[in-house]
Amino acid sequence: MRIGYFDCFSGVSGDMCLGALVGAGWPAAELEALPRRLGIEGARVEVGTARRGPFEAVRVAVHVEGRQPHRHLKHVVAMIDAGDLAPEVAEGARATFRRLAEAEAQVHGSTIEKVHFHEVGAVDALIDVVGTHEGLRALGIERVWASEIPLGSGFVDCEHGRIPVPAPATTQLLAGVPVRLGGPPFELATPTGAALLTSLVRDWGTPPPFRLERVGIGAGGRDLAEQPNVLRLMVGDADEAAARLPGRPVAVLETAVDDDNPQYVAALIPRLLEAGALDAMIVPSVMKKGRSGLWLIVIAEPADADALAQRMMSETSTLGVRLRLDRRLELPRRALEVETPFGRVALKVAELPGGGERAVPEFESVRAVAETAGRPLREVAEAALAAWRSLRP
């Protein structure tokens, strides 16, 4: 299976996606021909290069003559439908613009039929969206992964005035997506870039192992002093069976020790969790020569695996840590607080396959409320579950 991985360490925008695709091998002439194929008058695409930090990147700019009108979704869809496009490209572009319309409508309290595409409806956004879908098709990319998305900081000026970063539409589009707040005082993730990735990406984080064949570097419009303002696209072939496994990739780190103080190893667990581990546990084991030992297992995001392994080796007596990539199926979940006769208790509510939900009181919350109220832990936990059940229809 041919996959593409967008490394968004400096954010994402539509023109960065186009530059990365051209850098990965999509002929620039095909991108430059898009205005004609979409029937857009007075527009041209310029493909060049730009230096961003140590990177020589592809810079794409759309030049438009005259003033372009604001457009509703139906106008954009009509342009896509009338364009000289493959059916799958047109379908993908329509879906991306629909996501944009839904986000704008949510922000402005309107409907997707009434919302105007202001900045995102300009000709350059049409080129960005259609071009990205076209470029992925031309490179034969069947499935897309992406890293977490940094959002930047500060403010941005738009047609509605001065607004904070991330822009309201961007936050709507990135709901449920791994993001990172802060960074340079600029908008690192644009609404167009966010709409593209959230309509293309099925899996966030590290992709399955693949044979890297091409790398494309797309330049952003600004040359940032803090970091290279580029988007990297890595293209290659992955084992199809591994790529289609359900769940998402996680790193499993494990080591066994038989010559360490169990108290020291146990004290490491909360520090590993604070350092980013998704889970950590100790299993008693019998090791060589019949010695009693401890088997330390850590589940982590692949990007955090190296730092956590270093910590395991520096804070235990182990001489090595085994690491492998597994896949983890997860139930969608949310945090919730309920009011009980003893105080407010936090719960974790999971959505079950096939419908329904399951709630579990958070132990530390139960313990704090029980100690304050002078009641048994079980009584407080049962009261929290009863309060949750009373909230359900």
Question: Which pLDDT value is given to residue 119?
Answer: 43
- Name the pLDDT band for 302 (thresholds 50, 70, 90): confident
Question: Which pLDDT value is given to residue 120?
Answer: 42
Question: Which pLDDT value is given to residue 128?
Answer: 96
Among residues 288, 312, 328, the one where a domain terminates is 328
Rounded mean pLDDT of the chain? 90
- Which has more confidence, 218 or 165? 218
Helix (H) or strand (E) segment spanning residue 46: strand 43-52
Residues 10 and 26 in one domain: yes
Residues 349 and 258 in one domain: no
Question: Which pLDDT value is given to residue 111?
Answer: 82
Contact of 3 with 141, CB cutoff 8 Å: yes
- Name the pLDDT band for 54 (thresholds 50, 70, 90): very high
- Name the pLDDT band for 70 (thresholds 50, 70, 90): confident
From 59-68, 117-126, 161-170, 372-381, the region with the lowest mean pLDDT: 117-126
Q: How many domains does the chain divide into?
A: 3
Question: Which pLDDT value is given to residue 118?
Answer: 56
DSSP conformational letter for 362? -
Give me the domain span that covers residue 141.
2-243
Question: Which pLDDT value is given to residue 363?
Answer: 95
Among residues 328, 348, 379, the one where a domain terminates is 328
Percent of the chain whose pLDDT exceeds 70: 96
Residues 6 and 115 in one domain: yes
Residues 273 and 343 in one domain: no
Largest separation between any pair of C-alpha atoms in the chain: 82
Asked if residue 72 has pLDDT above 90, the reply is no
Q: 30: burial class by Cβ within 10 Å (0-12, 13-18, 19+)?
A: middle
Residues 206 and 337 in one domain: no
Asked if residue 38 has pLDDT above 60, the reply is yes
Contact of 48 with 152, CB cutoff 8 Å: no
CB atoms within 10 A of CB 25: 16
- Name the pLDDT band for 208 (thresholds 50, 70, 90): confident
Asked if residue 121 has pLDDT above 70, the reply is no
Question: Which pLDDT value is given to residue 241?
Answer: 65
Residues 91 and 238 in one domain: yes
**How is residue 11 written in tokens?**
């954010």
Residues 358 and 318 in one domain: no
From 51-65, 96-110, 249-263, 279-293, the region with the lowest mean pLDDT: 96-110
Contact of 84 with 45, CB cutoff 8 Å: no
